[in-house]
């Protein structure tokens, strides 16, 4: 049996992960990472509604007590601020739409926590993610596969994990469906069995990321011009971070046809708008690419591609370019390809890898550098 540190958020998934590992006979230690202050000086209410709040920590503590396992809260506010929060703000200032969960997973949950756990003599870190990790002796590599429940599958958020992380990672819920998770949690008498899921970004109160950016980066957010794809000035914007690809509401510009944000030009501090057809792309470029079944992509490969978490996936071919960069060519154009979001590749149920979208070829205009 192994010594396992379980990242416990106070929700049903991580709680059941701890319970299942304990039932299997492992030596289990529960840990909650305190990522963000519970309160800020001018706030009387809890900073978080459901994640990392005092209530969530108490839920995790009570589950650990019920399971009779040690439980600790580790303050990683500084690390979280310097990595995830900084990345989140800088991405928006650069005209990108980031996904902070990617870096929280790779740098904190399966980075910093794993480093600590190994220092404590633990063999593994475990989480309540819905994905399957395993070892392929033929390849000599650890692999990730999608969970059977594709609606809950979270492999999309794990594409950037490295081999040394996967080697010490357990995901006991990987083969379960969400209904089975709640049923098992109820059977085991876990108090969080019926606890609602958290869907929002954990450090954004009430989902208002714009207000968060105003508080954190107000001096760096500048108004600028709104142009159409023909480069004609159509209005003024309040700040590049307040817009995202595909946005229709809040533009304040009348037209004969619906208008959408189709690009964010950080170099010129301009929002580019266009019609529905301007949102569709047949290619994209990705950077910060990581592959799991192999080290590097040496030739083109046919894959299923997801360009956002809820995307159903599209057939495409991927092509190696410079180190750490690839081109994705879709079999059919895709709508609202968004720089800053993850693009993740699958071959059947196997997660091949992924990267961060850096640009696409939505329409022919002077910013040819985005065309790949």
Which positions are catalytic?
A: 104, 202
- CB neighbour list of residue 148: distance below 8 Å, 6 or more residues apart: 175, 176, 177
Strands 27-34 and 3-7: parallel
Chain mean position to CA 228: 31
In the chain, DSSP assigns E strands to 3-7, 27-34, 71-75, 124-126, 131-136, 141-146, 169-170, 224-228, 233-237, 260-265, 270-274, 280-291, 301-306, 314-320, 326-335, 342-347, 350-360
Please tell me what DSSP assigns to residue 55: H
CA–CA separation, 167 vs 154, rounded Å?
18
CB contact at 8 A, 239 and 222: yes
User: Of all residues in the chain, what percent are helix, strand and coil, respectively (each to 5)?
Assistant: 30, 30, 40
Establish how many alpha carbons lie within 13 A of residue 135's alpha carbon, considering only the half-sphere containing its beta carbon. Answer: 10
Please tell me what DSSP assigns to residue 245: T
CA–CA separation, 207 vs 248, rounded Å?
18
Could you give the 3-state DSSP secondary structure of residue 105?
helix
């Amino acid at each position: 049996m192994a010594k396992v540190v379980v990242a416990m958020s106070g929700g049903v998934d991580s709680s059941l992960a701890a319970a299942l590992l304990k039932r299997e006979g492992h030596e289990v230690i529960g840990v909650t990472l305190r990522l963000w202050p519970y309160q800020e000086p001018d706030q009387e209410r809890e900073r978080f509604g459901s994640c990392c709040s005092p209530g969530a920590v108490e839920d995790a503590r009570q589950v650990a007590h019920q399971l009779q396992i040690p439980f600790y809260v580790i303050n990683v506010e500084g690390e979280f601020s310097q990595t995830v929060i900084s990345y989140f703000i800088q991405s928006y200032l650069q005209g990108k739409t980031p996904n902070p969960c990617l870096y929280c997973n790779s740098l904190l949950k399966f980075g910093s926590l794993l480093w600590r756990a190994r220092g404590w003599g633990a063999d593994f870190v475990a989480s309540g993610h819905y994905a399957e990790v395993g070892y392929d002796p033929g390849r000599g590599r650890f692999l990730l596969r999608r969970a059977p429940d594709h609606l809950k599958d979270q492999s999309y958020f794990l594409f950037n994990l490295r081999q040394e992380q996967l080697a010490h990672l357990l995901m006991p819920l990987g083969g379960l469906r969400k209904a089975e998770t709640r049923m098992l949690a109820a059977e085991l008498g876990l108090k969080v069995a019926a606890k609602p899921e958290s869907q929002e970004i954990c450090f954004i109160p009430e989902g208002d990321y714009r207000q968060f950016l105003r508080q954190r980066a107000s001096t760096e957010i500048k108004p600028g011009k709104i142009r159409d794809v023909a480069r004609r000035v159509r209005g003024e914007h309040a700040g590049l971070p307040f817009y995202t690809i595909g946005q229709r509401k809040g533009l304040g510009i009348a037209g004969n046809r619906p208008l959408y944000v189709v690009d964010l030009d950080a170099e010129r501090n301009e929002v580019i708008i266009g019609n529905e057809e301007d949102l569709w792309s047949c290619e994209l470029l990705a950077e910060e690419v990581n592959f799991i079944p192999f080290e590097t992509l040496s030739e083109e490969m046919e894959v299923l591609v997801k360009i956002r978490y809820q995307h159903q996936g599209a057939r495409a071919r991927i092509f190696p370019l410079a180190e750490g960069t690839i081109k994705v060519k879709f079999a059919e154009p895709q709508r609202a390809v968004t720089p800053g979001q993850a693009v993740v590749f699958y071959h059947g149920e196997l997660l091949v890898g992924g990267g961060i979208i850096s640009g696409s070829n939505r329409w022919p205009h002077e910013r040819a550098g985005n065309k790949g």
